Amino acid sequence: MQQYDLVALRSFISVVDAGSFNQAAILLSASTAAVSRRVSGLETALGVRLLNRTTRSIELTEAGQQFYQDVVNIFQSLDEAQERIQKRSQHITGDLRLSAPLSFGITSLTPILSGFMKLHPELKIHLQLEDHRTNFVAEGIDVGIRVGRLEDSSLVALPITTVSAMFCAAPSYLAKYGEPKSPKELLNHNCLRYSLINPKFGWAIEQDSLARSIEVDGTLTCNNGNALREAAIAGLGIVQSPAFIVDDAIESGQLVEILTDYKPAPLGLYAIKLSRQFTSAKVNAFIDYLKAYYADSSKIK
């Protein structure tokens, strides 16, 4: 029986999951050439081709598809065995890769992480703060934090809490263009929009416990809430924003909350994970900590 090691098997799984040798190499902290050699060596040991490679993509062969499913199951069993040992020893170790929006990560995530890391000092946290749609598989993300209304996805979204939002604008903008008194008047104003929310959602408005959406337009869209806040402070337009981004600016008088009788619908705060049957102890521990942290309603407005 020909031999091959777990490193070669893990490399093969990573290439398939990531969709490329380059991305797999990043996840494995190895060179692309090394990952390619491992997979080629695995194919030689098995005597079959597992991947069809082109300059643009890779595809599993029929044998590769079957082998991938079998190997994934084996590694899942190994991961489960490791998690059971860790639970018995009450130590959670390894690497936990997290992703969060830049604004939320800076303003709100630090106290959460510091408390969690004190509970699990042997766990290494890798935090990516980014304002784009994350490819969880290619980037090796274990848990993503997302604020807002989510589009349909193959990922699993676990609700953590809700985040209040508000409409606001700078005093200089309101002095020049007037203050809207109803949502329909937003159609006559320059609205600064968050680009990562699907445009079909519009701006969500809640009145008398009924939610509806209004389509707005404006001269600026941006994928970062802090940048939109600064644009609003500069008097460029009206922004709909989570409270944690604009609270300080409202307290200082740089922004004024408007349309207080038509609050935006609260935004969901979600923990996102890959849709797999097995969830590791480190992922469960972090999600449970998030839920416990936000069970205290004073933690977020």
Query: Are 91-161+268-299 and 165-264 in the same CATH fold?
Result: yes
SS3 content of the chain, % helix, strand, coil (to 5): 45, 25, 30
Predicted pLDDT of residue 166: 92
Long-range contacts of 219-222 (CB under 8 A, 24+ apart): 219/190, 220/190, 220/192, 220/193, 221/192, 221/193, 221/194, 221/195, 222/192, 222/193, 222/194, 222/195
Annotated domain spans of the chain: 6-87, 91-161+268-299, 165-264
Alpha-carbon gap, residue 148 to 204, rounded angstroms: 11
Look at strands 51-53 and 58-60 and give their pairing. Answer: antiparallel
Identify whether the C-beta of residue 249 lies closer than 8 Å to the C-beta of residue 171: no
Look-up of token digits 């939109």: 228
Provide CB contacts within 8 A for 170, sequence distance 6+: 232, 233, 234, 235, 254, 255, 256
> Tens of pLDDT along the chain (301 residues)?
456 777 888 888 888 877 888 888 877 778 888 888 888 888 888 888 888 887 677 888 888 888 888 887 777 777 666 666 655 555 788 889 998 988 888 888 888 898 999 989 989 999 988 877 777 776 778 898 888 766 656 678 888 988 889 999 999 999 999 999 998 999 999 999 988 765 555 787 877 666 778 888 899 999 899 999 999 999 999 999 999 999 999 999 999 999 998 888 788 889 988 765 567 788 888 999 999 888 875 545 5
Q: How far is CA 3 from CA 12, 43, 47, 67, 166, in A?
A: 15, 11, 12, 15, 61
CATH number of this structure's domain 91-161+268-299, picked from the four choices 3.40.190.10, 3.40.50.1820, 2.60.40.1120, 3.40.50.300: 3.40.190.10
Q: Which CATH class is domain 6-87?
A: mainly alpha
pTM above 0.75, yes or no: no
Q: Where are any strands of DSSP class E within the chain?
A: 51-53, 58-60, 94-100, 123-129, 143-147, 156-163, 165-169, 191-194, 203-207, 210-214, 220-222, 238-242, 256-258, 267-273
Predicted pLDDT of residue 1: 43
Look-up of token digits 């190997």: 71
Provide CB contacts within 8 A for 30, sequence distance 6+: 11
The dotted CATH code for 165-264 is 3.40.190.10
Alpha-carbon gap, residue 159 to 146, rounded angstroms: 10
Look-up of token digits 């937003």: 186
Identify whether the C-beta of residue 264 lies closer than 8 Å to the C-beta of residue 206: yes
Question: Three-state secondary structure along 75-121?
Answer: HHHHHHHHHHHHHHHCCCCEEEEEEECHHHHHHHHHHHHHHHHHHCC
Predicted pLDDT of residue 65: 86
Predicted pLDDT of residue 88: 53
